[in-house]
């Protein structure tokens, strides 16, 4: 089964439909299977005190202005839906509250995503699981008991899912990747496991691809120097195209583990071993 590659646009569009469309184009041209966004109801996710606190941003001087500036409204998401349909690429979003998940139901989306921060939000997990859409569950910031509880909810609901090994630091240091946890999660829970990376560069993602992941998610951006908290942990267009191409090569290179000689080697073996007497000639 091919690795399902997700281009995480998240909030890297900076509230601009034009940037969002450019990133969708990047994902499609690179060969990604889907793009992913984020959806929040600002007044449910953040407290009034936090929203009223100061923050300088392109949209104003408060946290509210910044958060609202990064959120797409219904009309903008309808345009994203139309554009992805036109381009022939799937899209979905991670909801950060229950109203946002209900909002997303107006679109005919094939997938859901549980962000690492939301893994402990059990009412949201149950709301997502009742849709019975294939759901990617990121495991960042969570211990094994919290992951187990989330899995129980999805299994009880009969909702298909896979875990995504995640380290929730932005950007993640390579030495923190703990890629062997991919195998540990797969063996412990008996389910598919993908990888959602926040590292700088591509080497860790390549290593994850060689460990049998079923999905790979990386944030994408037009320019890592752009405004935004996720930009530094994102991959620019040329890097994303390189990554998808390399992952597809890695998939082919992994093979099936067969211990027999590759048939393509037979004529080469015959030529290079022509001077070696057959073993039978030395048999008494």
The rounded distance, in Å, linking the Cα atoms of 199 and 46 is 27
Q: Please state, as a whole number, how many other Cβ atoms lie within 10 Å of the Cβ of residue 177.
A: 21
The rounded distance, in Å, linking the Cα atoms of 51 and 273 is 75
Start-to-end Cα distance in the chain: 50
Residues 160, 164, 165, 171: what is their CA dihedral angle, to the nearest 10 degrees?
-160
The answer to whether the bond into 194 is cis (omega within 30° of 0) is no
pLDDT tens-digit readout, 231-279: 999 999 999 999 999 999 999 999 999 999 999 999 999 999 999 987 6
Residues 162, 214, 4, 206: what is their CA dihedral angle, to the nearest 10 degrees?
130
Taking domain 4-257, whether its CATH number is 3.30.420.40 is answered by no
The rounded distance, in Å, linking the Cα atoms of 16 and 18 is 5
Does residue 147 carry a pLDDT above 60? yes
pLDDT tens-digit readout, 45-81: 999 999 999 999 999 999 999 999 999 999 999 999 9
- The domain segmentation of the chain, as residue ranges, is 4-257
Residues 6+ apart with CB under 8 A from 206: 243, 246, 247, 250
The rounded distance, in Å, linking the Cα atoms of 153 and 161 is 11
Q: Which run of H or E residues covers position 69?
A: helix 63-69
Q: Which run of H or E residues covers position 54?
A: strand 54-57
Q: β-pairing, 54-57 with 60-62? A: antiparallel
pLDDT tens-digit readout, 181-225: 999 999 999 999 999 999 999 999 999 999 999 999 999 999 999
Asked if residue 222 lies in contact with residue 22, where contact means CB atoms within 8 angstroms, the answer is yes
Q: Please state, as a whole number, how many other Cβ atoms lie within 10 Å of the Cβ of residue 214.
A: 19
């Amino acid at each position: 089964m091919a690795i399902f590659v997700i281009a995480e646009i998240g909030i890297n569009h900076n509230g601009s439909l034009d940037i969002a469309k450019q990133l969708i184009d990047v994902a499609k041209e690179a060969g990604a299977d889907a793009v992913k966004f984020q959806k929040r109801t600002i007044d449910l996710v953040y407290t009034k005190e936090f929203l009223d606190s100061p923050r300088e941003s392109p949209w104003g001087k408060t946290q509210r202005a910044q958060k609202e500036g990064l959120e797409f409204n219904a009309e903008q998401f309808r345009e994203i839906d139309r554009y992805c349909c036109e381009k022939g690429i799937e899209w979905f979003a991670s909801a950060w509250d229950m109203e946002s998940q209900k909002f997303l139901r107006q679109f005919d989306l094939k997938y859901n995503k549980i962000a690492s921060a939301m893994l402990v939000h059990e009412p949201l997990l149950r709301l997502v699981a009742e849709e019975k859409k294939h759901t990617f569950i990121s495991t960042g910031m969570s211990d094994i008991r919290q992951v187990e509880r989330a899995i129980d909810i999805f299994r009880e609901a009969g909702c298909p899912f896979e875990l995504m090994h995640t380290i929730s630091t932005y950007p993640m240091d390579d030495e923190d990747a703990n890629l062997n946890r991919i195998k540990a999660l797969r063996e412990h829970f008996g389910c598919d496991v993908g990888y959602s990376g926040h590292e700088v560069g591509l080497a860790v993602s390549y290593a994850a691809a060689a460990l049998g992941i079923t999905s790979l998610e990386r944030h994408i951006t037009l320019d890592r120097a752009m405004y935004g908290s996720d930009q530094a942990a994102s991959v620019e267009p040329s890097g994303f195209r390189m990554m998808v191409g390399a992952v597809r090569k890695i998939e082919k290179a992994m093979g099936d583990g067969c211990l027999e000689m590759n048939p393509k080697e037979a004529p080469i073996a015959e030529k290079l071993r022509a001077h070696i007497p057959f073993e039978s000639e030395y048999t008494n």
